[in-house]
Structure 1
Amino acid sequence: MVFKSKYPDIAYPTDLTVWEWAFEDKRYSPIFRNPPSKLAGFSNAVTGERLDFLQVKEHATYLCTALASQYGLGRDDTVSLFSQNSIWYPVAMFAVLRAGGRVNGASPSHTVDEMANALKTADTKFIITVPQSIDTALAAARKVGIPAERIFLLEGELQGHASMLQLIEVGRSRGEGGQTPFFRIARGQTNDVCGYLNFSSGTTGLPKAVSSILPVAYQRDSAAKREGQVMLSHRNVIAQCLQLGSASEPKRRRFLACLPLFHISGLVRFLHWPIASNDECVMLPQFTIKSFLKAIEQFKITDLALVPSIVNRLVNDPLVAKYDLTSVKLIACGAAPLGEEVIKLLEKKLPWTGFRQSYGMTESCCCLTTHPPEFYSYKYADSGGVLLASTVIKIVDLDSGKELGPNETGEILAKGPQIAMGYLANQKETAETFGADGFLHTGDIGCVDHKGFIHIVDRIKEMIKVKGQQVAPADLEQLLLGHPAVEDCAVLGIPDDRSSERPKAFVVLKQTVSPNPKIAKELLQYVKDRKIRYKWLKEIEFISEVPKSPSGKILRRVLRGKRAKEDTLFVFKDIAETSRL
């Protein structure tokens, strides 16, 4: 059966670009819907520097004109942004969109090879970065043939590289009548035009880049097989913001951008959603638990969008008690399911807050489901929420492909205006992931209950098969995170002669606990007391840190490929149970 949203379909414009929607159209732009004194904006959590949305528009206009007139930025050109969170990031992004270009965000912490792969994959023409990443950017640019004069600075100054502030002044000097016209959708066409290239946070291999539209040349060319980028269109982003709006309370909010802007959650929730709803957004340039807590207290943050690793810090770090967090009204969590034990600890720590979880991915432009206001209670936190407006899903059997009903578990397939249209220059994977019927094959296992809430079990590729039984790593991870000695953990399958595979846990202990056989046996017994036998752990390896992506997802491929043991503190095998399973 097809599960449908209980909310009315949204009406989204098909003839507007994101630039027009955000800054030019009187129906949607906050500039026209609010007096200047009520106009929200972006602030720097460290310096307090602030740009309201009108200033963002003005700066982006001047920057667009300078890049177009002096460097030739034009339609379909890709500009890669390698930067930490900054109030100047949206200025650069909107300048590119205004010119009809494509924005590609990636981590400023990339190595030279990683950055070169990102540049090559996105077919980048220009780079905007920060001084601390300039050497890496230059080396990566040389590898892919991007001239040094096409590398600009988002912030700061360095000899030989034009800064954004300098370029803005170049654009301003041309006067109001000399600005480059903004890109518009041609008559008779739609806004299914690629505006963003975002790397998919897959669990294996190099990242794929997702795009919202497949250019005609791409649709007919299957020869080039690069690591794909998820292509996101102007329509995808606009529709997603309107969907989130229909599932939110009509009140002013103050967000803290503590997740990276180059990730899909940051792109939607911190760069576009605040403009759609005229909400303040405070940019945290670099996450530390201290800077995070200080920003909440100083700026009276009302809404937090987090990932499980940050939630774990909130409930476990003693530093939290030193800060006033009473301004926070709602905590949202995504990227991976949050376990029952952690949810209980969070509610105990911040009992006055509401809570919601969302489910989605880069390929769905952030969200497919979320908890609307009537379900902000922690008692609904065991699910990923309900379907957003204009969204439908199917649950299909993993073996037969048969459509399943409520409370039946299978792969999740999704359809809606927020669904990307494919991977750039990767026709094979596009065909496999984005079905001919318009349904995205998420690769996630889950079910929808009788009340319409979605429940995520795990990734298909990450399931552990023990004598034919499926074990979800997330199930054991969530359990272990509820143990008072565990700071963080990851679970994956390892070969076993008798059972094909058995679960192994990589555990980070709290600073007050030392790795030793006693705590290992305690954790093994902790799982045995709470889970069926085939889910019991075969082995525990204590490590100093669980490798994760910037969005907080566990990098299991790093753990699987771990050869060097410098990070291993102690390994304990449950030999006694091996022969009994």
Structure 2
Amino acid sequence: MTAPQAPSIPAATSRPPGLPRSLDYPAVPVGSILRAAVGRWGDRPAFVEDDVPLTFGELGARAHAVANWLADSGVGRGDVVAVHLPNCRQYPAVYYGVLLAGATFSPTNPLLPAADLAAQLTDAGARVLVTWDQVLPLVRTALAGTSVETVVVTGQAHVADLGTRLDGLAPGEVDLAHLLAADPTDRHLDAGLDPAGDLAHLAYTGGTTGVSKGVELVHRNVVTNVLQSACWVHGALPELDAAGDVTLRQVLGAEEHPIRLGEGRLINLTPWFHAMGAIGYLNGLVLAGTTTVVHRRFDPVRYLEDAVRYRVTSIGGAPPVFVALLQVPGIGDADLSAVRGVSSGAAPLPVPLIERLRTLLPGAVIGEGYGLTEVTMQATGNPSFRSGTRKPGTVGVPVFDTEVSIRPLGGGSPLPPGERGEVCIRGPQVMRGYARRPEATAEAIDAEGWFHSGDVGVLDEDGYLSIVDRTKDMLLYKGYNVFPRELEEILFGLPGVAGAAVIGRPDDEAGDLPVAYVVRRGDEAGAALTAGAVMAAVNERVTPYKRLRDVVFIDAIPVSAAGKVLKRELAARERAAVAGG
């Protein structure tokens, strides 16, 4: 008698059907993305803020005006322009204007303290700073000793009318309205750039765990990663238009990708000074002809109202965005039927949160991606086509032309599937290096071109990557490695928990005591939470050395503008408490 065979498990479908594993990346500067979009999408709204639209055609004219003003002022190839702005309707014109002039874009968080701003401007060698009028007093104190020669100022007044003149500027400060009103013709100032050698972005690492470093990204890095990401998301291939500029050809049909090029609508909260913002939520959306509604601050209630009003087709952001949205009263009754895609990045999305989003948005594909500033933006992604296999808890598989390897934390040969180690990435989107830091560059990128991320991950048999934690977040309890992410996943699955972060409390005998900071939800389950109940619920599911030693309730988990948890702030709080006895 023949023994019954176990049912076969279908192989994971991770690659877009009909698309090659390798793409052809045109050797064009970043400005080519805008030129093609202007020609293709023309009168379609590109960006909308406070109900005031900016069409693709208008964006092109404004961007060329900025480029021409900069060029006429002697700013061009090799010069760094620091952009110190929140997301606003005028930001895209400034961004593309800098690159069309042949200069280098260096994004700067507008909330940086004066000393940190001065340090970044000095490290970047910025000649021009574009800033926001509300932070001018801080900026003026930061400029002494930097290489900044020109300060361009914009503000809320320009959101409603790009021609409005600002009041109260000091001598030497220039109103952005002058730049936006300059010659709008395309002089092809970037025609002489070398995409493989000239810097497009000088982007600074988030600094969530230490001092920021300048990441050098040439035009080829940026164009390549925009195409890797956009082709992955839209089931498309790169192609050149009649003018030789880069655009997309959607290969997969509406049954796999119901959001068609030129039809997408999305609310963006991701800061454009962050890698995910500049690549995915600026360049990627312009390339795809998406209409982007700009929200400068996250107001969950307003976000939901606009999502319904504009009938958004996609929702994207970092995990804290989804946590807050799910708590908006009445969200279950809101008409979100147009949403066909949900994408998360910047930090891992807890599996319980994914399940709640699935219940709310049954018609949407929910996927995560993974990347870092040092790989321009994206390295992996879950399949975005409807028949693809998405594995909750993973960040997908490597995108086009990208390799991911798991290596021992102390160095060594690649580990087999299922074993934890450091995530290493190789591909055409890997940075040139850290600006003026050859030793740091050599430490991060080995002789074979592998970038060592500092993140701890594991690959499964199908090549799907799970991020376990950052090596710098890992706790050492009595000699045992404790990964906070594992505990945080359990915490997010508990009724009443809206947010959570696990850090180490210094202890002379044990090393790091695992401590959870928890945000209660605003419902009965949240009100009923106690520290003892939370600890018991977590500790019964983990081995003894991983157990929580304390639970601290907090109003909000501190996060960066990009949505990454600032564990250093919680760790500083713990150190201060221990020092204070």
Alignment partner, residue 441 of structure 2: 430
Contact 1:312–1:342 (Cα < 8 Å) also in 2: yes
Superposed, which structure 2 residues align to 1:507-546 within 5 Å? 507-511=518-522, 519-546=530-557
Distance 1:5 1:203, change over 3 A: farther
Alignment partner, residue 10 of structure 1: 23
Contact 1:491–1:504 (Cα < 8 Å) also in 2: yes
Q: 1:203 aligns with which of 200, 208, 216?
A: 208
Contact 1:255–1:270 (Cα < 8 Å) also in 2: no
Distance 1:427 1:410, change over 3 A: same
Give 1:312 deviation, angstroms: 1.1
Contact 2:504–2:571 (Cα < 8 Å) also in 1: no
Contact 1:5–1:392 (Cα < 8 Å) also in 2: no
Superposed, which structure 2 residues align to 1:96-245 within 5 Å? 96-144=98-146, 146-147=148-149, 149-153=150-154, 156=157, 157-160=166-169, 161-171=173-183, 176=185, 181-185=188-192, 189-208=194-213, 229-245=214-230
Give 1:183 deviation, angstroms: 1.7
Contact 2:369–2:380 (Cα < 8 Å) also in 1: yes
Q: 2:38 aligns with which of 25, 31, 54?
A: 31
CA distance in 2, matches of 1:124, 1:481: 43
Q: Secondary structure of the residue that 1:239 maps to in structure 2?
A: helix
Give 1:285 deviation, angstroms: 2.0
Contact 1:128–1:154 (Cα < 8 Å) also in 2: no
Contact 1:42–1:50 (Cα < 8 Å) also in 2: yes
Alignment partner, residue 454 of structure 1: 465
CA distance in 1, matches of 2:490, 2:289: 39
CA distance in 1, matches of 2:304, 2:389: 22
Distance 1:152 1:202, change over 3 A: closer
Distance 1:400 1:125, change over 3 A: closer
Contact 1:390–1:416 (Cα < 8 Å) also in 2: yes
Q: 1:288 aligns with which of 269, 279, 299?
A: 299
CA distance in 1, matches of 2:386, 2:544: 35
- Which digits, 9 at most, give the CA deviation of each residue in 1:339-360, with x for residues without a partner? 1222222222222321000011
Q: Secondary structure of the residue that 1:248 maps to in structure 2?
A: helix
**With structure 1 as the length reference, what TM-score do the two structures score?**
0.84
Alignment partner, residue 440 of structure 1: 451
Give 1:108 deviation, angstroms: 1.7
Distance 1:136 1:320, change over 3 A: farther
CA distance in 1, matches of 2:391, 2:25: 29
Alignment partner, residue 506 of structure 1: 517
CA distance in 2, matches of 1:564, 1:532: 26
Give 1:511 deviation, angstroms: 4.3
CA distance in 1, matches of 2:388, 2:549: 37
Distance 1:514 1:351, change over 3 A: closer
Give 1:145 deviation, angstroms: 5.5
Alignment partner, residue 394 of structure 1: 405
Contact 1:81–1:104 (Cα < 8 Å) also in 2: yes
**With structure 2 as the length reference, what TM-score do the two structures score?**
0.84
User: What residue identity is the alignment partner of 2:190?
Assistant: F
Contact 1:5–1:387 (Cα < 8 Å) also in 2: no
Superposed, which structure 2 residues align to 1:375-394 within 5 Å? 380-394=391-405
Contact 1:131–1:158 (Cα < 8 Å) also in 2: no
Contact 1:356–1:375 (Cα < 8 Å) also in 2: no
Contact 1:247–1:371 (Cα < 8 Å) also in 2: no
Give 1:362 deviation, angstroms: 0.8
CA distance in 2, matches of 1:443, 1:377: 29
Contact 1:83–1:129 (Cα < 8 Å) also in 2: yes
* RMSD between superposed Cα atoms in Å: 2.8
User: What residue identity is the alignment partner of 1:78?
Assistant: V
Q: 2:233 aligns with which of 248, 256, 262?
A: 248
Stretches of structure 1 that go unaligned for 5 or more consecutive residues are: 24-28, 209-228, 569-581
Give 1:563 deviation, angstroms: 6.8
Give 1:316 deviation, angstroms: 2.9
Distance 1:341 1:262, change over 3 A: same
Contact 1:5–1:391 (Cα < 8 Å) also in 2: no
Aligned length: 527
CA distance in 2, matches of 1:459, 1:365: 19
Alignment partner, residue 304 of structure 1: 315
Contact 2:521–2:527 (Cα < 8 Å) also in 1: no
Distance 1:407 1:515, change over 3 A: closer
Give 1:527 deviation, angstroms: 0.5
Distance 1:329 1:432, change over 3 A: same
CA distance in 2, matches of 1:265, 1:145: 28
CA distance in 2, matches of 1:363, 1:53: 29
Contact 1:355–1:376 (Cα < 8 Å) also in 2: no
CA distance in 1, matches of 2:526, 2:301: 27
Instruction: Tell me whether 1:483 sits opposite 2:494 in the alignment.
Output: yes
Contact 1:41–1:53 (Cα < 8 Å) also in 2: yes
Superposed, which structure 2 residues align to 1:273-284 within 5 Å? 273-284=284-295
Instruction: Tell me whether 1:57 sits opposite 2:60 in the alignment.
Output: yes
Q: Secondary structure of the residue that 1:503 maps to in structure 2?
A: strand
Contact 2:222–2:279 (Cα < 8 Å) also in 1: yes
Distance 1:432 1:375, change over 3 A: farther
CA distance in 1, matches of 2:525, 2:340: 37
Give 1:482 deviation, angstroms: 2.0
Give 1:324 deviation, angstroms: 2.7
Greater mean alpha carbon deviation, residues 199-208 or residues 75-84: 199-208
CA distance in 1, matches of 2:495, 2:328: 12
Alignment partner, residue 469 of structure 1: 480
Contact 1:260–1:550 (Cα < 8 Å) also in 2: yes
Alignment partner, residue 161 of structure 2: none
Contact 1:88–1:154 (Cα < 8 Å) also in 2: no
Distance 1:128 1:305, change over 3 A: same
Alignment partner, residue 571 of structure 1: none
CA distance in 2, matches of 1:158, 1:449: 59
